[in-house]
Structure formats: structure tokens, C-alpha cells
A and B are shown apart, each in its own frame.
Chain A
Amino acid sequence: MSALELLRGLLLGVPLALVGVDLARGRPALRIAAVPAAAIVGVALTATLPPGTLGYLVSFALMASIYAVMSLGLNVQWGYTGLFNVGVAAFFAVGAFVTALVTTTPPTGPMAAFSQQAFGLGAPFLVGVIAAGLVSGAVAWLVGRPTLRLRDDYLAIATIGIAEVVRLIFQNERWLANGPQPLRGIPQPLDCLVADGGCGWLPGFVNAWLAPLTPRDYPYVYLAVAAALLMVVLTLLERMTESPWGRVLRAVREEESSARMNGKDTAAFKLEAFVVGAVVMGIGGALYAHYMASIDYSHFDPLYATFLIWVMLMLGGSGNNRGAILGAFVIWAVWTGTASLADSFRPALAAISPDLPSRSPYLRFLFVSILFLAILRFRPQGLFGERRRS
């Protein structure tokens, strides 16, 4: 086995170790054992799987992890508090564009004529992620404040509105984030690990050891980053939802009037849950932006950036954080898997009409819609309903 395969395997071990540590919670000995086990599994995977398959799996896990963050954010709003947010795309987009503006530097020289942006702070990745969460939460506060004290449907309608408005702004305002053109050059965290010169802050022998990695291996690095952030979000949310605060949210969801009778300011709790969920969604958007490196308004279509996340959460299980993550992985697998399935329908479609084969991707839209209807009808609690509490 080559040094490159070993390095890839060890990088792959990071997300595996995180999963292992989470699965073995409550058993300290097993948790410690999970780390070396994950490294061994990672190296074994790289040694046995063909490189193409492995690369596909890594990029799959990456997008699924980003969607899992979004699904966790929605779970705080819908799963725990019963808030119907149809504008996930708004917070997704705000998070992505905010981190892009915070971490890039504004173009200079001839590039400035092609690419415009309101500002560019050139801040580090983590600053961008935190700013994305904060601004997204602020937007949620602005939307939630006037609508959350009214009947439930108004929030849904208002969130559709904010998603459309955010999309229109990023589509039309050239000065803000390069209008309809993509905003390019979003920095990728830790990309020096795979660059030629290595990282300046690492000792020379580490850089020499990392030298076999090329920029093509960057997804392995970013998967470790994304998985780590996902675990941080999960841990914080688990703490919050298990706390008395989370208990009030569930009370608001189950019977708002009785929660109010017990002296809880339910409108305030709903607003808090809405904002917390939006902060998480903003972080998800930031993760997405740094992965894509180039974003534009069309990425935040209501289908990809709202509806798919709803299907993920409803399938995985509302009110169950790990279910929300699993739902993201399953639905992303279904979504990417049905791409080839839809392709296999092409000959049949060509027999009906010559125009149809090029439209076969839309079969997936139809399929996911029907899947969502089936979940609502036959298993509204999802695969893993909420854990029963004594």
C-alpha cells in the first residue's frame, strides 16, 4: 500500500471515528477503542475499494453531512417545536453568502470588472461559519417576530416569502454578491494540507509526510472538517433539547395552551427555537459554500434547499436528532441513486416522445414528492420516531 493510500485512509478515519464515538456513547471503554478501530477501518477501506468508488462515497458523504446539518436545524424548529418553516432555502442561502463575503477578499485589478461584491473581509473559515450562523439567526428573528405570535400557517407563508425575497436579492443585486453570476473563489479550509508547499504553521516533517496528497484529495480533508462540525452541532443540540428548555419546546408543540397556562411565554420559546434552528441552517449553508467554492442564487432553489430537507427530516424522524441525520443520508442516497435509475428510463421515454429523455431528471422530483406524500400518510413519525421519555 502506498503512502497516499495510507494518508487517505487515516483522513477517512476521522469521520469514522466520530461516528464510532457517537454510537458508543455511555460506554467509555468502547469510545476509546473506537478511535484506533476507525483508523484501521479507514485504511482497510482505501486499500480494498477501487479509488473511483471511494471518491464517489466521500463526495456522497460530504453532501449528505451538509444536508444533515440542515436537517438538524429544521428538527429544532419542526421536530421539537412544531414550527412549519417552508423557507429553509432562505437560511441556507444567507449562511452560504455571508461566509463567502466574510472569508473572500474583494477582487482587484482586471478581475474587479467581472466580479463585484459588497465587501470581502478575508477572515478565516471558522469566523465565516460563526458569522453565517449569526446573520441567519438574525434574519429568522426578523421573520419570526411578527409571525410567530399569530396562527401557525402564517409562519409557513412568511417563510416562503423570505426564501423568495432572499433569492431575488442574490439574483438581482450585482453589487452585493455578484448578482446572477456566481461568486467564486470561496476559500477552502485546510487546503494547504493538500497543496504543494504544505501548511506554514505545520512543522516541516509533517508537511513532508503529507506531501503525497494532491488537491484532488481535498474532499477527504473537507469530509473530516464537515463531520467534525456536524458532531459539534449534534452535541450542542442534544444538550439543548434534553435540557429544561427543550422540554418546554416539546410542551409548546404538544399543547401550547397548557404550556402557557404553566406560565411559559410560549411565543418567546417559539422564537428562540426558530432562531436556533436558523443558526444551525446558516452553519450548514456556510459548510456548503466552502465545499462548492463557487455559489450563485440558483443553488438555493426551493426544491433542493427546502423540500429535499423536509423529506429528509420527515423520513428520518421528527424530534430525533440522530434520525434527522440518518434521514439526510438515506434521502441523499435515494436522490443520487435515482439519477441513474431515471437515466435507465430514457429508452422507454424516447419511445413515447423524442423530447422526453432529456427531461428524465424530473422523474426524480416526482418520485420524491410521492415519497413525501407516502411518509405523511403512512408514517408521519418517520423511521425513528421521537424517543419515549419516562
Chain B
Amino acid sequence: VRARTATLLAGLPAPNRWGLPLLGTALLALLVTASIVNGVGADRLLSLAVRGVMLGGILALGAIGLSLIFGVMNLPHFAHGELMTVGAYLALLLATLLPDGPPLAPFSFSATFLFAVALVAPAVGLLSYLLDRGVYRPLRQRGSAPIYLAMSSLAIAFGLRALVYLGWGADFRFFYPGRPRPAFELLPGIRVRPDQLFILGLAFVLIVAVYLLLERTKMGKAMRATADNPELARVAGIDVERVVLFTWMIGGGLAGIGGAMYGLDAQLRPEMGWWLLLPLFASVILGTIGNPYGALAGGLIIGVTWQVSSAFLNPAYGPAVAFVLMILVLLVRPEGLFGVRGRRA
């Protein structure tokens, strides 16, 4: 395991040698100590950690896109959480419109749901690109200060949420209301639901796909270069508008699927995206703005901390835990775990 972790870490671009292991160890020690003090058993901790990795996978799906958008367009995209909400509700719409088949045991959903989720990704990607064409691009071309784009994304966040409210009302929704979602014992003492394993698996597959896209394709390299340093990329002859298109398609698509997965695990609420926005930004800042792999690491750290802390803290405080982690990182290493000290922070 250690060798595998080492190769994984070696594969990450420009990792900070001490940041990640140090923070991880400190956090783990803190969480375990707090759990022992509060008398939480090891099996409960492990179950929570497994759930945390799953939640981290969902957060990473949002955070990877958010980090790329932040890097490529210098835009803290405040509507990213709402893209997740829209993805979840689009999946709900498709799942109710299309004829439903029998559930794919042991999962709670049918093949129709998988089809719906597959459609959601390009739909949300396209929606976010259209929003760019209609709102952000005109502002960019007018030479508006970046902060006006950030404000526009805030307005879009509220507008998208209003549309979801109009379409589905303020109540909780489930993809399959009333259907039992039993948990089973994965390992002695560790209970998970099959759906959660599916979410974890899908997140893993998508993240590997994004990794291959970013590493092996020309567009992926152009995206990483632009996210790392937009001016330099422009000078190097990269077609930035094309990079912008791909960034929105990938970022929006991943966010849409992430939202649908969050809806599958918990429930659908119009405020879910706003509620996830803070953990998403915390993941991005933790893993250095513009670094998609850092966003993945950040998402996992935030997800595990959020879940494990719920052993001794009201689970409602999840976003608050993410916030505290973010402020700590800003105080100690504002450039994030994968950043170069003194640059762009």
C-alpha cells in the first residue's frame, strides 16, 4: 500500500513535499483523538470514513470543474453548486419522463436512471457553456473587472435556483420515493448501501477519465496550461476560447453528475447546491486553485473530515467543518497544498 501511495503521489504534478502528508496526519490524529474522547467505536469511525470517501468523490466531481474554471477564466464560479442542483433535478425529470424498468438489484435505481445520468452530463455542460456565451463572455470582451463576472455568477446561482423552485417546489424529493435502500455489511462492522458503492465507483471512473483526458489529449494539456497560467497559454498560441468551451463542458458535466449522485445518496433539495458550494470552494483552495488533482485530494480530505467529524459533532455542521479547514489553510498555506509559495495567492 505504501508503495502504491508513493507512486500515486509521485504522479501528481509538483506536489508539495510536506503539505499533504502533514495535513493528513494532523487531521487524522485530531479526528481519532476527538472520537476516542467522545467514546466512538472504531467500526463506526471506519464506516464514517468510507462514507466520507464517497462524499469526497461527489465533492471532487464538483471541485475539479470549479478549480479548472477558476484557473482558466479567473472566475470563482459561485453558480457551480447550482449546476449540481440542476444536474440532480434534470436526472429526476428524465427518470420520471422515461419509462422505468425494474431496479438493478442490489441498487435502488433502474437502467433508465443510468441513461438519464448519462444525458445529464452533456446537458449541464451545454447549459453552462450557453451561460458563458450569454453572460460571462460579453463581460470578458467588454473588459469588465473579473469581480463583475464573479457577481454575475452569483446572480446566475440565484436565478438557476429560482428555476428549480418553479419547476419542483421547495420540498425534498427522492429519485425513487418509498423504495427501501438497505445497507449491508461490507466488512465486519462497516455498513454501506450498494448505491454508495456505485457512487464511489462512478466517481472513480469519471476521475480516471478526466485524468486521461487532461494528461493524454492535446486539449487536456492546453486546459491545464491555461488553468496554470492563462497569459502564458495565450502567448503560447493556445486557442483560449476553445479551452473555455471544453472547460465548461467538462466542468458542467461533472458537476451535473455529481449533483445527481448527491441526490441519489441523500435527497434532492433546491438548496443542495448552495449548501455544497462552501465545501467545493474549500476543496479547491485546499488543493490549489487551477489544479484538478489538488481539487480531487481536497474533495477527499473535506469529505472524510466532514463525515468523521459527525461522530461527535452535529452532522448539520458539515459545511462549517469545511469552512474551518479552509480558513486554516488560508492562514498557513494560502497557495494550497499543491501551490508554489508566493505565486498567485
Contacts and interface: CB of A to CB of B under 8 A. Distances in A.
Which are the 4 A-B pairs with shortest beta-carbon distances? A369-B159, A365-B162, A161-B323, A362-B165
B29 to A, nearest CB: 23
Contacts of B163: 366
A365 B161 contact: yes
A144 to B, nearest CB: 12
A362 B162 contact: yes
B327 to A, nearest CB: 6
B330 A154 contact: yes
A157 B277 CA distance: 9
Contacts of A372: 151, 155
Which of B166, B314, B334 has the most C-beta atoms of chain A within 10 angstroms of its own C-beta? B166
Given A158-B330, A365-B161, A372-B151, 7 more contacts: A150-B345, A156-B150, A157-B76, A160-B278, A161-B319, A168-B316, A366-B159
Contact of A307 (B158, B169, B277): B158
Interface string B255-277: 00000000000000000001101
Interface string A236-277: 000000000000000000000000000000000000000000
B280 to A, nearest CB: 10
A359 B159 contact: no
A302 B317 CA distance: 17
Interface of A: 82, 84, 86, 146-147, 150-154, 156-158, 160-162, 164-165, 168, 171-172, 302-303, 307, 310, 314, 355-356, 358-359, 362-363, 365-366, 368-370, 372-373, 376-377, 380
A153 B274 CA distance: 17
A369 B334 CA distance: 32
Interface in B140-174: 144, 147-148, 150-152, 154-156, 158-159, 161-163, 165-166, 169
B68 to A, nearest CB: 15
Contacts of B317: 168, 172
B248 interface: no
A158 B319 CA distance: 12
B285 to A, nearest CB: 7
Contact of B334 (A154, A171, A380): A154
Interface in B193-246: none
A303 B270 CA distance: 13
Contact of B316 (A150, A151, A171, A362): A171
Contact of B344 (A82, A151, A314): A151
A377 B274 CA distance: 24
Report the contact-size class of chain B (Cβ under 8 Å from the partner): 35 or more
Nearest to B165: A362
A154 B335 CA distance: 11
A302 B162 contact: no
A181 to B, nearest CB: 16
B106 interface: no
B148 A380 contact: yes
A252 B154 CA distance: 24
B135 to A, nearest CB: 6
Contact of B147 (A152, A171, A362, A363): A152
Contact of B285 (A157, A168, A302, A358): A157
B316 A164 contact: no
Nearest to B329: A146
B293 to A, nearest CB: 20
Nearest to A356: B166
Nearest to A353: B167
Given A150-B330, A369-B158, A377-B138, A168 B147 contact: no
B165 A158 contact: no
Contacts of A310: 151, 154
Given A84-B151, A157-B285, A168-B316, A146 B159 contact: no
Contacts of B161: 365
B158 A86 contact: no
Contacts of B281: 157, 160-161
Given A146-B327, A164-B319, A84 B159 contact: no
A373 B155 contact: yes
B151 A150 contact: no
B151 to A, nearest CB: 6
Nearest to A302: B274
B135 A161 contact: no
A341 B163 CA distance: 17
Contacts of B144: 376, 380
A156 B327 CA distance: 13
A164 B320 contact: yes
Nearest to B163: A366
Contacts of B278: 157, 160-161, 164
A377 B156 CA distance: 13
B294 to A, nearest CB: 16
Interface string B302-317: 0000000000001011
13 contacts: A86-B78, A147-B327, A151-B344, A153-B150, A157-B281, A158-B323, A160-B281, A161-B281, A302-B274, A303-B158, A358-B169, A362-B166, A365-B162
Nearest to A166: B320
A369 B156 contact: yes
A150 B154 contact: no
Which of A146, A161, A307, A355 has the most C-beta atoms of chain B within 10 angstroms of its own C-beta? A161
A333 B27 CA distance: 50
Nearest to A360: B166
Contacts of A307: 154-155, 158
Contact of B162 (A146, A147, A366): A366
